A and B are shown apart, each in its own frame.
Chain A
């Protein structure tokens, strides 16, 4: 029995990898946009949180 047998047996299986890829790309672009649209001052503030420096 070929492996592709199972593949054919799940209705619309080809949609799974497609959905996952699209989900990820959209999500990734969103996060990247979000990260790089942040202001320098808020990013600097966050980055310095573990350090004991007084702001």
Chain B
């Protein structure tokens, strides 16, 4: 057979590597900023685009989609051609993919900072960007499959399976979760409402962790760990079992983010059971990674790359043990809404994703520049700085979570809550400070790495492309007897793709379809009325300011929550909530029943200067809400969009909406005047007060009747 010559391109992997490191530094820097904001609210600078509620989504999106995303693409564009003995299918598509992805990141950062958000965690981007993501993702897929079809290696190595499954699953998740009803170019409402929206969102959110932060990085592990250790993976058989059971089980576990909420119980149980089962494949994968280094531990002592890999894989093991534990209802009762979850995700993000990426960079950059790493000593230093950073980040968060829990549930002998929410805030703020220090230390390590990598690149010569030779695949292929029948799947990428999709779709269908059938079964609470035009506008301000980043709207059926916040939440209360705003973290108190709890003037003063009514709070000020005039030009189209999604608004409310809005706003302004507060009725704060006063009010008035 004639050997063919072809090239492995290094330019695109290098671009992605630079982007990974750059966005990593940016994303982590934002993380440090918001961590300090929670300690010193003055750091919000009274500027809308610098407040915690807007910056935090930029931090999460930057770390997930910019840092880890570019890390995935670095690995894929480097590994795929080499595993398949072929050039990437189209260098044009590679370039479009690279620049398109960076454009998405920039658009995302700008729109989020300016308050354009869907209000669904980790899927906050508005619909035009969602469409752009879909396009770029498809281009990436075409390029990847084009390469697979023109390959010169018949077998698909296990890393490729992880890449393929990740691609197809992320596509499915993104499309299903992004069903939105556009209001205008930069505003849309989630197609789903309340309980359904929550389930779809956390099915997405959980699997974004699974298929964006985990499975592609497992592909990365299965490629770069053997490379760096210069030995094959411990057990290839185990990797097959690891792959199939992991993708099969992962997709079911989403509801564990909604334990004790108004989500139907059977869905909660399903989520728990599959989460527990998830330990097995995850630990199989972890052990497979660690055992690869059996008998080579002397190398680990020498080689910073392997050091990073070992801690990364260990953190993967810790996270995947902790995750299932957090899915147990009694443990979740403590961890949900608390800093425990924050610690958990950061063990994953800093340890698993971060360290695996750093290890890959320390291996890849010298390789591509045909040189040695500039300083092994600095890399080892980075390793220790990073490890210390993770520890200093995580421990205060665990501590504060438990402290908050015990304070939250403490009752006096007379049966009253022992602590106000603000007491708890004040106790945990010092821990937030330690956490911010931990994050800063981790970030310092990243800068040490950047310096080291730049020095490495400078001392070497960049190899734009490596030439390789291989024979093309013969058309006719007879399977050798010795090959396992799994080989059929390994040679057929489309079959692999289809089977992966079937695997992940089963879980999705079983979980989601019954919940949509539940729609007719969610017991309608007749007292629950759709939002008035003013409340609807106010709700959109609530979403715009990212209030859900710190405040939940979901009271769990525990004594200490019911006494503190009011009766536990029922699914029927959320039927008009497009999107749901249950939240996932309580840095501030729950707001599900805050309506009517305080006078309008309290909310007015609280939003203007939270510390004036709640001394010691770490909530930022929102002065612009008092200057901005509410944009009422959208009222009609918002009502129209809501009606289209089944909200039973009165006939012709589109045209009369603003009259009704004005009347209600004037009522609130009147009310404020009684408390000696002068403000024009057309300001945004009025709408926000209207919304906050509506929360939980419908059901309370009906109960008192």
B510: which of A16, A37, A38 is its contact (CB, 8 Å)? A16
- Cα A13 to Cα B83 with chains together (Å): 45
Once bound together, how far apart are the Cα atoms of A32 and B240, in whole Å?
Answer: 8
Complex Cα distance, B480 from A49, in Å, reads 18
| B237–A31 CB distance below 8 A | no
A13-B523 contact given A34-B485, A35-B240, A42-B484, CB 8 Å threshold: no
Task: Write the nearest CB–CB distance from A6 to chain B, whole angstroms.
Answer: 4
B35 at interface (Cβ–Cβ under 8 A)? no
Complex interface residues of chain B between 560 and 599 (CB less than 8 A to chain A) = 570-572
For A24, the chain B residues whose CB sits under 8 A away are 245, 248-249, 277
If A38-B486, A39-B482, A39-B483 touch, whether A6 touches B237 (CB-CB below 8 Å) is no
What separation, in Å, do the CA atoms of A19 and B506 have in the docked complex?
Answer: 11
The answer to whether B240 and A50 touch across the interface, beta carbons within 8 angstroms, is no
Contact string against A for B residues 508-536, beta-carbon threshold 8 Å, 1 for contact and 0 otherwise: 00100010011001110000000000000
CB of B132 to closest CB in A, whole Å:
33
The CB with the most chain B CB atoms within 10 A, among A27, A37, A47, is that of A47
Q: Does B133 make an interface contact (CB < 8 A)?
A: no
Distance A6 CA – B79 CA, assembled complex (angstroms): 48
Q: What are 5 residue pairs bridging A and B, where the CB atoms are less than 8 Å apart in the complex?
A: A6-B521, A7-B266, A16-B266, A20-B506, A47-B233
B230 contacts the other chain (CB 8 A): yes
The answer to whether B157 touches A50 (Cβ under 8 A) is yes
CB-CB under 8 A from B82, the residues of chain A are 50
What is the distance, in angstroms, from B325's C-beta to the closest C-beta of chain A? 20
Closest to B572 in A: A1
Residue B252 at the A interface, CB < 8 A?
Answer: yes
Query: Bound complex: CA of A44 vs CA of B652, how far in Å?
Result: 71
Q: Are A34 and B240 in contact, with the CB atoms below 8 A?
A: yes
Q: In the complex where A9-B518, A13-B514, A35-B486 touch, is A51 in contact with B265 (Cβ < 8 A)? A: no
**Given A6-B264, A24-B277, are A19 and B510 also a contact pair (CB < 8 Å)?**
yes
> In the bound complex, do residue B266 and residue A27 qualify as a contact, i.e. CB atoms below 8 Å apart?
no
B227 contact set on A, CB distance < 8 A: 50-51
Minimal Cβ-Cβ distance residue in B for A37: B484
Asked if residues A38 and B265 are in contact (CB atoms below 8 Å), the reply is no
* CB-based contact A7/B510 at 8 Å: no
Residues A50 and B482 in contact, CB atoms below 8 Å apart: no
Partner of A6, one of B236, B244, B249, B265: B265
Shortest Cβ distance from A11 into chain B, in angstroms? 9
| Contact partners of A50 in chain B: CB under 8 A | 79, 82-83, 157, 159, 222-223, 226-227, 232
Q: Enumerate chain A residues within 8 angstroms of B241, measured Cβ to Cβ.
A: 28, 31-32, 35
Minimum CB–CB distance from A42 to chain B (whole Å) comes to 5
Residue of A28, A45, A46 most packed against chain B (CB within 10 A): A46
Q: Is the beta-carbon distance between A27 and B248 smaller than 8 angstroms?
A: yes
* Interface: B616 (CB within 8 A): no
Interface residue? B155 (CB, 8 A): yes
Least distance between A41 CB and chain B CB atoms (Å): 6
**A contact residues vs B (CB 8 Å cutoff):** 1, 3-7, 9-10, 13, 16-17, 19-21, 23-24, 27-28, 31-32, 34-39, 41-51
List chain B residues, Cβ under 8 A from A19.
510
Stretch at the interface among B57-65, B96-104, B267-275: B267-275
Q: Does B130 contact A (CB under 8 A)?
A: no
Chain B residues near A36: list those with CB within 8 A: 237
Asked if A17 and B232 sit within 8 Å, CB to CB, the answer is no
Report if B473 contacts A (CB, 8 A): no
Chain A minimum-CB-distance residue to B557: A3
> Taking each of A23, A34, A36, which has the highest tally of chain B beta carbons within 10 Å of its own beta carbon?
A34
Establish whether residues B237 and A38, one from each chain, have CB atoms under 8 Å apart when the complex forms: yes
Q: Is the CB of B236 within 8 A of A34?
A: no
- The answer to whether B670 has its CB under 8 Å from any CB of chain A is no
Interface residues of B in 468-488 (CB under 8 A from A): 480, 482-487
Within the complex, which residue of A5, A39, A46 is in contact with B155, where a contact is CB–CB below 8 Å?
A: A46
Closest to B236 in A: A47
Cβ–Cβ contact B517 & A10, under 8 A: yes
Which B residues lie within 8 Å of A35 (CB)?
Answer: 237-238, 240-241, 484, 486
- Are A7 and B264 within 8 A (Cβ)? yes
Tell me the complex Cα distance, A1–B169, Å: 36
Which of A28, A39, A47, A49 gathers most chain B CB within 10 Å? A49
Check if B153 is an interface residue, CB within 8 A of chain A: yes
The complex places the Cα of A42 from the Cα of B83 at a distance, in Å, of 16
* Residues of chain A contacted by B571 (CB below 8 angstroms): 6
A46 to B159, Cβ gap below 8 A?
A: no
- In whole angstroms, what is the CA distance A1 to B568 when docked? 11
Does the CB pair B155–A49 fall under 8 Å? yes
| A32: chain B residues within 8 A (beta carbon) | 241
Question: Which of B157, B249, B266, B482 meets A46, CB within 8 Å?
Answer: B157
Q: Quick one: which of B232, B480, B514 contacts A47, CB cutoff 8 A?
A: B232
Contact of A17 with B270 at beta-carbon distance under 8 Å, contacts A35-B486, A50-B83 already known: yes
Distance between Cα atoms of A43 and B157 in the complex (Å):
11
Residue in chain B with minimal CB distance to A42: B483
Q: Is B303 an interface residue (CB 8 A)?
A: no
Contact, CB under 8 Å: B270 / A20: yes
